[in-house]
Structure 1
Amino acid sequence: MTPKSRTLSDTADTRKNWRFPGMEEIYGLSFLVLFSLSAVGGVILRRRLHEEHLSKENMEAVRLVTGLLVSFAALILSLQLSTSRAEFDAASKDRSTYAAHLASLDQCLRDLSSRMEPARQLLRRYTAAVIVSSWPDEPAPQVKIMLDTKDMPLRGEDMVLAGMMNQIGLAIDSFEPADGVSKNIVARCQLDYRATLTARWAVIEDTHAPSSVSFTLIICFWLALVFLSFGLQISHRLLSKIVLAIGVVCVSSVMFVIIDLKIPYGGFFGISSASMRDALADMNRDNNAGAPHQETSTR
């Protein structure tokens, strides 16, 4: 039994935890608007400045400062994108690992005894509830007595799901093996249970990544200054303005990807529910596919 029984509803929380519907689209549009306004502001400022302010020496100084800002922004953007992708990949891997441990635990309970069927049913209900609460926009899996997940907390422990996992652990610990084979299977189930709890914790912690709002705002400020200076430097020709617009769109899309990757259970790049659904399908398969161990009498 773990000392900390946070449930995967916590990860389920993921979807509510991390965003409201469409938040990443709002962020992306905000970046596009901010950088566009900065570039347009630079163009307007160039038109209103006296020619003496647009001398070759002054423009060289502007280009020098702009190059410095661009270098810093490019370095930080690349690091942010790399970090966000690594965190997303880790969260996806942790979810797949957790699903595999759930399926392994169910198989062990199946092998142990038919008396563990109530615990297996509890595990199936738990897994289905996690799927529904983590991916609310997808079709709900079909299980008997589906839990109501709409009132699960946005972050932290859900007492109902925590209790279900605890009951499964108690069922394993309280099972009395009748022979050596059963004893070995009980030991394996206990190991599987502990591995499942550890994997669940990894998934939960993936949803508690440190916020980088302040850092993102600073980057946006830098980029806004960069596009302001770009608008100040370009000539009043259509091609120059088109190239500037392309730059605005490209940088805005990079910022969108960085933000979206930090929303692992929502957004454009969301973690798939396939691994959890595969685990549940494995739990629901016909019991004849894996007959439970038949205990021998000790009398």
Structure 2
Amino acid sequence: MSPFAIGGIAFLFIFGAALLGMFLRSRLPGDHLSAESRDAIKLATAIIGTLSALALGLLIASAKRSFDDAGAETRTWAARVLLLDRVMAHYGAETAEMRASLRELVETRLSEVNDTSGSKKPPGGGFDVEPVQDGLRSLSPQTEAQRWLQSRALQLSGQIAEARWLRTDTEAGGFPGMFLVILVFWLALLFASFGLLAPGNATVVATLFVCALSVTAALVLIIDMDHPYLGLIRVSDAPLRLALERVDRP
């Protein structure tokens, strides 16, 4: 389910709970909203508010970590591709075809990062370095330097191939569904208490509407950031563009 769909459902529950609280306010007997009752409600919801704040903090930290890890992976991948290209360039003209394949690899990865169609492509299109590895294994080095360069190139290509599975883990990320359900339930309880204790006028309704919209917008941004290759907030493609400019050059 997309972050916006989750945010829309969360908004309906949270703002709906506030409206339900207002409805109950007009139906409950007066002693249910006495000063003592209001104090007890405030104390109970303060606990829920604290738990909600802690949960949102954990979500933000988790999403930020996923986003930072994806950015570091992209920069590392681009650096290894450039280093692999230079190693093959020093090997000799026999690697010309493999260097061209490496450039196509960067172009494919860049197109995947910039894809805004919303389609979740299976990982691997921009990571399929196996043809380059096959070409490196088929080389017949003639000197000690070429043997070292071949070994180094195979090592780098293996590290690039490992990034494929690292990206798979990142794309398969996401918060546990039950965690989000409980968080939305807590927020709904908070807004229900707001509606229960506040007078039902247009100013209060508008304020609760804006606050509910703000909270759900934060949830949308957090969930979107947790998918740094697929969401609206994506990792920068600057390292890939730099690699594309320099790879397969004399």
Give the TM-score normalised by the residue count of structure 1.
0.74
Does residue 172 of the first structure (1) align with residue 136 of the second (2)? yes
Structure 1 residue 203: Cα displacement: 2.3
Does residue 276 of the first structure (1) align with residue 240 of the second (2)? yes
Query: What's the counterpart of residue 137 of structure 1?
Result: 116
Identity of aligned residues (%): 24
Query: What's the counterpart of residue 149 of structure 2?
Result: 185
Does residue 54 of the first structure (1) align with residue 30 of the second (2)? no
User: Residues of 2 paired with 1:273 and 1:237: CA distance?
Assistant: 49
Any idea what SS the aligned residue of 1:131 has?
A: helix
Structure 1 residue 240: Cα displacement: 4.4
Query: What's the counterpart of residue 98 of structure 2?
Result: 119
How do 1:1-299 residues align onto structure 2 when only pairs under 5 Å count?
Answer: 23-137=2-116, 154-155=121-122, 165-209=129-173, 211-236=175-200, 240-285=204-249, 287=250
Any idea what SS the aligned residue of 1:264 has?
A: coil
Structure 1 portions without partners, runs of 5+: 1-18, 139-149, 288-299
**Structure in which a larger fraction of residues adopt helix:** 2
2:17/2:189 contact within 8 Å kept:
yes
1:234/1:240 contact within 8 Å kept:
yes
**Which amino acid in the other structure matches residue 183 of structure 2?**
I
2:136/2:153 contact within 8 Å kept:
yes
Across the aligned residues of Structure 1 and Structure 2, the Cα RMSD in angstroms comes to: 2.5
Give the TM-score normalised by the residue count of structure 2.
0.87
Structure 1 residue 154: Cα displacement: 4.0
Any idea what SS the aligned residue of 2:129 has?
A: helix
1:43/1:234 contact within 8 Å kept:
yes
Residue 210 and residue 35 in structure 1: after superposition, are their counterparts in 2 closer, same or farther (change >3 A)?
Answer: closer
How many pairs align? 249
Structure 1 residue 92: Cα displacement: 1.6
1:110/1:116 contact within 8 Å kept:
yes
**Which amino acid in the other structure matches residue 216 of structure 2?**
S
User: Residues of 1 paired with 2:225 and 2:124: CA distance?
Assistant: 24
Structure 1 residues 14-56: Cα deviation after superposition (integer angstroms, max 9, x where no partner): xxxxx7xxx3333333333332211122112212222122122
